[in-house]
Structure 1
Amino acid sequence: MADNSKDDLLQLIKRVGAFLSLKFSNFPRDMNSRSVGAIAGLTLALVFTWRLLRVPSEPQRRQSKRQAPPASSSGVSTAETVNASSLGAINPTDDSRTQNVIDEFFQPVKVEKVTFFIPLQPTLGQIVRQRLSDGRKVTCRLLGVVLEESTPEELQKQATVRSSVLEVLLEITKFCDLYLMERVLDDESEKKVLVALEDAGVFTSGGLVKDKVLFCGTENGRTSFVRQLEPDWHIDSNPEITTQLARFIKYQLHISSVKLERPASNVFTAPFLEQFFGCV
C-alpha cells in the first residue's frame, strides 16, 4: 500500500513537472521571487489535492488487487502492461483532475472596484451662513467696509462700491435681513451712495432695498440705529462704536488692519469683510 502511494505521488509529480515545463516554456530564465513563490504554492496545493483525490480511489485499488489476472492473458499483453507502467502512462481521469487543479490555481484574481469620495468644497453661501452662525439680521457700516471711501468728506465728491466685497454682500442678503447705514454731511452724499449701490447691482438680488439704507448726521446716530434694530451681527470700522455696542449686540465684526487691544469675546477682527469669509 505504501509503495502504491509513493508511485501515485511520483506519477503526480511527473505530470506536474511536465505541465509546468510546458506552462513556463515561454517565461524568462531569471524568474523573480514572486514566480518561485507561485510555483511553491502550486506544488503544495497539488499535493494537498492529491491526498484528497486518492481517498475515494482506495476501494477500487483494493478490489483490483484481489482480482487475479485472467489465465488467458498472453505474454504480449503482460509485456505491454509492464511497459506502460514503467513509462508512467497517464490515466485520463487523473490527468483531468490535475489539469483542473492547475487551471484553478492560475485563474485571474478579481479585484473589487474601490470608490474614493472626494469631499466637495463648501459654497460661498454655506461659508457665509456658517461664519454668521445662522444669524438672521445684520447691520453694516458703508464707509471703509462696502465703499472705497473712508470719510464723510470723501462722499461729497464720489461714492465707489468695492468690487471684491460685492459677492459676499449679495450672499448675506440671501440669508439675512441686511441694513446698511452711514453718517453723511448732506443730501447729495446720500444720492451718490444710493446711485453707487444701484449701479453695482446691490438692489437687484431682491434681498436689499433702498429703504434699508439708513443715513444719519452723527456717529451716535449710527449707534442708535444698531441698538433699535437689535441685529445678530453688526459690522463696523469705528473702534469706539464697536466697544460701546459689545454689551448689547450678540456678535460684532470690526473691520480694520489694526486689531483692537482688548476686544470682547464676541468681537471678531478682519482687515476686509471678504477676508472674514475666506474670499481673499
Structure 2
Amino acid sequence: MAESSKEQLLQLLKRLSHTISNIYDTHSIGAVAGLAIAIFFTWRLLRPSGGPQRMQQKRQAATSSGHEVSTHSDASILASGVCSSSADSRAQNVVDKFFQPVKPTLGQIVRQKLSEGRKVTCRLLGVILNESSPEELQKQATVRSSVLEVLLEITKFCDLYLMEHVLDDESEKRVLVALEDVGVFTSGGLVKDKVLFCSTENGRSSFVRQLEPDWHIDSNQQIISQLARFIKYQLHVSPFRTERTAANVFSAPSLEQFFGSI
C-alpha cells in the first residue's frame, strides 16, 4: 500500500511538471493551483494510517482466542482493503477532475491563429456582410450573425480596419448602420473612422499597402495575389476550395471557420 501511494504521488508530480512546462498564458495559473490542492488531498487520502491504530489492533489480538484472532484478523484485512480501495478511488477522482482537458477560449484561438499580429485589414463583402457585390449594397447591408463573435474578439486584440468598394454614398451609410446595429462600435474596439470606402477594387489594395497590416482578409483572389509579396499573412475567404498561391496565404470557407468557432 505504501509503495503504491509513493508511485501515485510520483506520477502526480511528473504530471505537475509537465503541466507547468506547457503554460502559455496567465489563465493556466489557476489550473496549477488547483493541481497543487489535488496533490495535497491525494496525499492525505493515500498516506498510511498512524501507529496507535496498529498498536490497538495488536492488543486486541493478544487478548482474543486463536479462532477469534483469526476471524478478527480476516475481517480487519477485508475492511482495510475496502477502505484502501475507496481512498484510492476518491484520490483518482480528484486527480482526474483537475486533469480534464481545458478548452481554449475564442480569444486565445484568435491570438494564436493570428500569430500575435496586431494590425488587421479586412474586406466587408463576402466576409463580414452577407452581400457579395457593390450592387447589392445599393439595396441593403446585413452583417453575418455567425461572424460577429469572432469579429468582436479581433477588435479586442487587434487594430482592425474594415474596407469596401462601394458605388455611392448611400451604400456607405447602409454599411455603417448595419455595423452599428449589431454593436460593433460599442462592444469592440472598432470606430467608424476605421471603416474605409473606395470607388474601385484597386483602391482597396492601395489602402492595404498604405496601412501595412500583419494580416489582410479578403474574398477576392486577385487582390490576394497582388498583395502576397507585400503583406506578411493573408486569409482568402472563399466557399470554394482554392489552391494555395503562396506560403503566406491561407484559405477558409469563412472567417469564423478559420478560427474554428463553428
Superposed pair shares fold, TM > 0.5? yes
Equivalent residue pairs, number: 189
How far did residue 215 of structure 1 move? 0.4
Q: Give the direction of change, closer, same or farther, for the CA distance of 1:226–1:95 in structure 2 (3 Å limit).
A: same
Cα distance change on mapping 1:120 and 1:262 into 2, 3 Å? closer
Residues 217-266 of structure 1 show CA distances to partners (whole Å, capped at 9, x for unaligned) of 11111111101111111000000000111111111000002233342111
Counterpart of 2:228 (choices 227, 246, 250) is 246
Which residue of structure 2 lines up, in the alignment, with residue 187 of structure 1? 169
Percent identity over paired residues: 72
Aligned residues: CA RMSD: 2.0
Aligned to 1:88: none
For the pair shown, the structure with the greater C-alpha radius of gyration is 1
| 8 Å contact from structure 1 (residues 239, 260) kept in 2 | no
Cα distance in 1 between the residues matched to 2:174 and 2:61? 100
SS at match of 1:221: helix
TM-score by length of 1: 0.63
Closer, same or farther in 2 for the Cα pair 1:95/1:131, shift >3 Å? same
Which segment drifts farther, 151-160 or 116-125? 116-125
Gap runs ≥5 in structure 2: 1-59
Asked if 1 retains the 8 angstrom alpha-carbon contact of 2:155 and 2:190, the reply is yes
Gaps of 5+ in 1: 1-91
3-state DSSP of counterpart to 1:203: helix
Q: Within 5 Å, which residues of 2 pair with 1:169-188?
A: 169-188=151-170
Q: Are positions 1:139 and 2:121 aligned together?
A: yes
Q: Aligned to 1:138, what secondary structure does the other structure show?
A: strand
Query: What's the CA shift for 1:143?
Result: 0.5
CA distance in 1, matches of 2:203, 2:257: 28
Give me the TM-score of the superposition, normalised by structure 2.
0.67
Higher helix fraction: Structure 1 or Structure 2?
2
Contact 2:129 2:141 in 1 (8 A): yes
- After superposition, where does 1:177-256 map in structure 2 within 5 Å? 177-256=159-238
Query: Does 1:162 pair with 2:141?
Result: no
Which SS does the other structure have where 1:125 is aligned?
Answer: helix
Tell me, in whole angstroms, the C-alpha distance in 2 between the residues paired with 1:164 and 1:127. Answer: 16
